Chains A and B, each alone.
Chain A
Amino acid sequence: MDFLRPASWEEALAAKAEHPTAVPIAGGTDVMVEINFDHRRPEYLLDLNRIGDLYEWEAVEGSVRLGASVPYARIMEHLRTELPGLALASHTVASPQIRNRGGVGGNLGTASPAGDAHPALLAAGAEVEAESVRGTRLIPIDDFYTGVKRNALAPDELIRAVRVHKADGPQQYSKVGTRNAMVIAVCAFGLALHPETRTVRTGIGSAAPTPVRARTAEDFLSAALDEGGWWDNGKVITPSVVKQFADLCAAACNPIDDVRGTAGYRRHAVGVLARRTLTWTWDSYRGTAQQKGMVA
C-alpha cells in the first residue's frame, strides 16, 4: 500500500489521474473501518486532510458550495439557516467523534443507501462538484447515486464540493434507529418545502438500493397544495392528503429485509416519517406565512 499525501487540490487531482484506483481518505470514518477489518486493501490511499479548500464553504448563486470535507459538526453549527435539512441530518450522524471527522464528500463517495446526508441533499436539491485533471462537472444529485455503494464519479474524479440549494422554506429530516447516537438508519426521510417554486421535494434513505426521491408523492402533494390554494391560504392540510402523501412515499421504497429491519417495517416507517415531517414543515410554513401577514 502507498500513502499519497497531496498538499494541494491540484496535486490531489494529478495523483488521482495517475492512480485511478487510489482510495480517497478524508475523515476515514468509512475507509478505515474497511481497512481495520481487512475488507479492503487499496493499492493507494489518497489522503485529503492537507487540502484546506475542502474544509471551507461559500455562498454561490442561491447555493452553499460546501467543501467535501467540511465536518458534520461544522454543518450543524454554522449552516442551520441555509441548509436546515442537512444540518438536522448531520446531527443524526453517529457521535461527536465521528461528526468531527466525517463530511458529506465521504457520504457521497461511499454512496451507501444508508448515508445520513443523502435524503437531505435529495430534498434540498444539490449538485455534486466532481473534478479531475480533465475539468469540473456538476452532477445533479438525482443522477449521482447509480447503485448500492455506486456513484456517477469517473475513476479519475474527486469530489471537490457539493452545491446545496439554500432553503427557501422549511425542511425536516427524520431517521429511525434503536437509539439516538451511533445508529445506522433503519430508514430515513428528508422533506423540503420550496415555496418559491411551489414544489416539495423528498429524499428516502435506507429503503431502496440507492437513496431515492418519492417523485409520485412529490407530484401529488404539489398538485394538491396548488389545488387547495394552500400555499396562499396557509390552511392545515387535510388528513386525507397527508395520508395519501405518506402512502405514496411508502410506495416509493424498494427495501430489503436485513439485520436492522424488515422491508415491511421500513416501508411502514417511511410512511410515518413522511406524515410527521410534512406536518412539521407545514406547521412551520404556516407560522412563517402568518407572521408575514400572507395568510388571511
Chain B
Amino acid sequence: MRVNFTVNGRPQEADDVWEGESLLYVLRERLGLPGSKNACEQGECGSCTVRLDGVPVCSCLVAAGQVEGREVVTVEGLADQARQRARGDARGTSLDEAKALAAGGQESPAGEGTGAFPHAALSPVQQAFIDAGAVQCGFCTPGLLVAADEMLERNPSPTDADIREALSGNLCRCTGYEKIMDAVRLAAARQGEGV
C-alpha cells in the first residue's frame, strides 16, 4: 500500500509498504531517515521515539498505515523544529529548509542530519547532550533527544523527578543516566536564560 504523511515538515510518500510494517521501518528503510533507531521492536527501549502529531511515541509500535495524513517529527527534524519554536512561528518548513534537511539526511549516515546543512546548528537539547558528555555509544541518543525535547517544550523548568519520568521509557546501557540528567538540566537552564 501507499502511505502519505509529513515528516519533519515535508510531505512524504512511501510506496509498496507492507500492511504490517511499522512506522520505524518506513522511516529507516524507505525514507532514508536512519536517526530513529531499531533495537527492541516492542516498545521497551524508546530508541525509536518520534513525535506523531506532536506526541512522543515508539515508532516501532505504530503501523505504517496509521500515519496516513499525519505529521511525524524525527530526531533529524529536531534542529529545524527548535528554530521554528524560537521564531515562534507555526508555519511549515520552507522549500530551502526542506532541501537542506534532505541533503543533511542523505549525507550523514548516522542520520544526525548536520552534514552540509546550511543552518547546521543543533537543537539546544542536542547541543546540551554534547556539552554534558551525555553520549557514549549513541544508540539511545536519538530517542532520548526526542523525548527530552518534547518534555522541555511542555515543561520548561522540570524537576529531576519530571526528567526521570519523561525519560523513563528510554533505556541507555552506557551512561548510567547521570550525564543524560545533566544534559537535560543544562538544556532547561539555557532555555530559561534564553541562550
Task: Decide: A182 near B169, CB < 8 A? Known: A3-B19, A45-B20, A97-B56.
Answer: yes
Of A11-19, A35-43, A231-239, A275-283, the one contacting chain B is A35-43
Min Cβ gap B89→A in Å is 25
Min Cβ gap A255→B in Å is 24
Say whether A27 faces chain B, with CB atoms less than 8 Å apart: yes
Task: Decide: A2 near B19, CB < 8 A? Known: A36-B42, A97-B49, A181-B169.
Answer: yes
Within 8 A of B (CB), among A1-35: 1-3, 5, 25, 27-29, 31-33, 35
Let me know if B147 and A97 touch, CB within 8 A.
yes
Min Cβ gap B107→A in Å is 29
Q: Count the B residues whose beta carbon is within 8 Å of the partner chain — how many?
A: 29
Let me know if B1 and A101 touch, CB within 8 A.
no
CB-defined interface of B31-75 with A at 8 Å, one 1/0 digit per residue? 000000000011110100100000111101111011010000000
Let me know if A101 and B19 touch, CB within 8 A.
no
Q: Which among A41, A95, A97, A98 is the interface contact of B20 at CB below 8 angstroms?
A: A41
Say whether A107 faces chain B, with CB atoms less than 8 Å apart: no
Let me know if A5 and B18 touch, CB within 8 A.
no
Let me know if A25 and B169 touch, CB within 8 A.
no
Say whether A47 faces chain B, with CB atoms less than 8 Å apart: yes
Contacts of B43 on A, CB cut-off 8 Å?
A: 29, 32-33, 94-95, 97-98
Query: Of A29, A41, A181, which is in contact with the most chain B CB atoms at under 10 Å from its CB?
Result: A181
Say whether A290 faces chain B, with CB atoms less than 8 Å apart: no
Say whether A49 faces chain B, with CB atoms less than 8 Å apart: yes
Interface residues of B (CB under 8 A from A): 1, 18-20, 22, 41-44, 46, 49, 55-58, 60-63, 65-66, 68, 147, 165-166, 168-171
Interface residues of A (CB under 8 A from B): 1-3, 5, 25, 27-29, 31-33, 35-37, 41, 45, 47, 49, 94-98, 100-101, 180-182
Would you list the 4 A-B pairs with minimal beta carbon distance, nearest first?
Answer: A95-B169, A181-B168, A1-B19, A3-B19
7 more A-B residue pairs beyond the given contacts A2-B19, A36-B41, A96-B168, with a C-beta to C-beta distance below 8 A? A3-B65, A28-B62, A35-B22, A36-B60, A97-B56, A98-B58, A100-B57
